[in-house]
Amino acid sequence: MDHRNWPPSFEQAADSKRIMAKVRDVGPAWAERSAAERLAPVRALRRRIAAEAGALVEALSTRPGRSPAESLSGEILPLAEACRFLEREAERILAVRRLGRRGRPVWLFGVEAEVRREPFGTVLVIAPSNYPLLLPGVQTVQALVAGNAVLVKPAPGCSAPMELLRGWLAEAGLPDGLLHILGDSPAEAEAAIAAGVDKVVLTGSAATGRRVMAQLAERLVPATMELSGNDAVFVLPGADLDLAARALAFGLRFNGSATCIAPRRVFVPRGMAAELETLLLERVAELPATPVPLPVRLNVARLAKEAREEGARPLGSLPSAESGEMAPLILADARPDMAFLREDIFAPVLALVPVADMGEALAFAAKSPYALGASVFGPDAAARALAARIDAGGVTVNDLIVPTADPRLPFGGRRASGWGVTRGAEGLLEMTQMKTVTVRPGRFRPYYDPPRARDEALMLAALQALHGEGRGRLSALKRLWPALRGRR
């Protein structure tokens, strides 16, 4: 999200206040509905997506360099699956959780306890340009099913798919005023925050995250931040190098490589680096150039020149200011301290980093501030073991990108890649706030009485009886009953 047209105008601020007034009128009644009732429009939406997928493909056609098949596989089908996940699981996930006797401290005998999940109120979804339907779409339906009203701030030029979704949800019975699609200027998000939203879900760059969080901090508004990535790929001894090369080429091609979990840093044993490089070049030679914004192309050219001066070997031509497209670029013999490996780049680029072993690979990977996703290629047992050691929000083994579309899985990063999660059961719960309720029957409340001399002996006897061992515990049990009688 860039920051043109920032801060908001008087008109934008007034519009946001009007929208928030409408939301506060209709939101409470929506929150009081059962989860089953709130799921009804989502069920109808899923069927509409299936029936009119062509309209969504058309709405996504402004995404440069993307085929209809990629829109279907990368956004539309996963969104439908996310809706079906909610239909199957949301009532269970959002249900009141009542705690039984097991694990209850004995001194709370008779107390009933439960954990409730309640909506925040109004959730602001700040959407990205690379997946303008899937990411805000899933976040929107999760927020609605959790009982919230939703405001969506699309990326510039990306309003069409979410406007279509809003209309379909309205036709499916979603109450008027519960879902608003704001203008696509970044100032719209600031105006909405100033108007008093209750939760923000942002998908964007780390720089945008810092700016938004500075505004949220003044108001103590909670947020889920899905931020930049610079994903690592670990190639183990014994890995199928042809499979790894195919996967890396796919990562450079899919969605023009404008994916936050696209491969960027490839750590490979020195003895395997030359073969992987050869196989990868064969695959990359088949890939077309893809549209890349001018500022990104200029940044890639600068970083690649710096890396070349520091000893790296660019394989392929550097992007130019004249052409609006960019061919895939591989940087061989890269080192982890190069700036090329420490920035978030939305372009078809990756760096091959030769390493002595996976211990060195993990140390090198930690030099990047980003920890969104990672992939491991190698024998199953060794790859699983390494996956457990990687600092990242999600790891795929012998694959990349595609498995993360499983609607059951939460998605989120660490460190500069953000915090909190979207999607899956955990993502649905992120759209709620917790409330605990405890109920104690009867009238026995000895702690209400003024302190007595025997209280210390009672507490010590209780502590030893409950948590001691051996003779000390038996002795405490013998002392506890007389102490209790004296307290009563």
On the CB side of 468, CA atoms within 13 Å amount to: 15
pTM of the model: 0.91
Note the pLDDT tens digit of each residue in 176-209.
999 999 999 999 999 999 999 999 999 999 999 9
Q: Once rounded to an integer, what is the mean pLDDT over residues 426-440? A: 97
| 68-105 pLDDT tens trace | 999 999 999 999 999 999 999 999 999 999 999 999 88
Taking Cα atoms as reference points, which of 369, 432, 373 lies closest to residue 405?
373
Residue 261 or residue 451, greater confidence: 261
- Separation of alpha carbons 231 and 392, rounded Å: 9
Name the band, by pLDDT with cuts 50, 70 and 90, for residue 463: confident
Q: What is the spatial distance between Cα 252 and Cα 259, in angstroms, rounded to a whole number? A: 9
- pLDDT of the residue at 3: 46
Strands 112-119 and 432-439: antiparallel
**Per-residue confidence (pLDDT) for residue 11, from 0 to 100:** 67
Nearest CA-CA partner of 346 in 208, 190, 244: 208
Q: What's phi and psi for 357, nearest 5 deg? A: -160, 180
Mean pLDDT of the chain: 91
User: CA-CA distance, 194 to 196, in Å (whole number)?
Assistant: 5
The predicted pLDDT at position 478 comes to 67
Q: What is the pLDDT of residue 13?
A: 66
Structure tokens at 42: 């989502």
Q: Is the pLDDT of residue 420 over 80?
A: yes
Which two tokens mark 126? 């700040």
State pLDDT tens for residues 332-379: 999 999 999 999 998 999 999 999 999 999 999 999 999 999 999 999
Q: Are 404 and 81 within 8 A, CB to CB?
A: no
In this structure, the strands spanning 223-226 and 199-203 are parallel
Q: Cα–Cα distances in Å, from 121 out to 91, 116, 178, 179, 183?
A: 19, 15, 11, 12, 21
- Given pLDDT bands bounded at 50, 70 and 90, which one contains residue 4? very low
Integer Rg of the chain from CA: 27
Q: Please name the residues in contact with 316: beta carbons below 8 A apart, sequence gap of 6 or more.
A: 284, 327, 328, 329, 330
Half-sphere exposure of residue 393, counting CA atoms within 13 Å on the CB side?
Answer: 29
Tell me the pLDDT band of 458, cut-offs 50, 70 and 90.
Answer: confident
Report residue 233's pLDDT band, with 50, 70 and 90 as the boundaries.
very high
Neighbours of 177 (CB within 10 A): 17
Output 238 or 474, whichever has higher pLDDT. Answer: 238
Stretch (H or E) spanning 427 = helix 424-430
| Mean pLDDT of the 15-22 span | 86
Of 306, 305, 311, 346, the closest CA to residue 326 belongs to: 346
Least confident of 69-73, 268-272, 464-468: 464-468
The residues that bridge with 436 in the sheet, in sequence order, are: 115
Find tokens 């990047």 and name the residue.
368
Residue 335 φ/ψ, nearest 5 degrees = -125, 150
Domains and CATH numbers, the chain: 10-227+423-434 (3.40.605.10), 231-407 (3.40.309.10), 446-487 (no CATH)
Confidence of residue 2 (pLDDT cuts 50, 70, 90): very low
For 111-167, how does the pLDDT look when each residue is reduced to its tens digit (9 = 90+)? 999 999 999 999 999 999 999 999 999 999 999 999 999 999 999 999 999 999 999
**The pLDDT of residue 1 is above 60:** no
pLDDT per residue as tens digits for the range 35-63: 999 999 999 999 999 999 999 999 998 87
- Determine how β-strand 231-235 pairs with β-strand 263-269: parallel
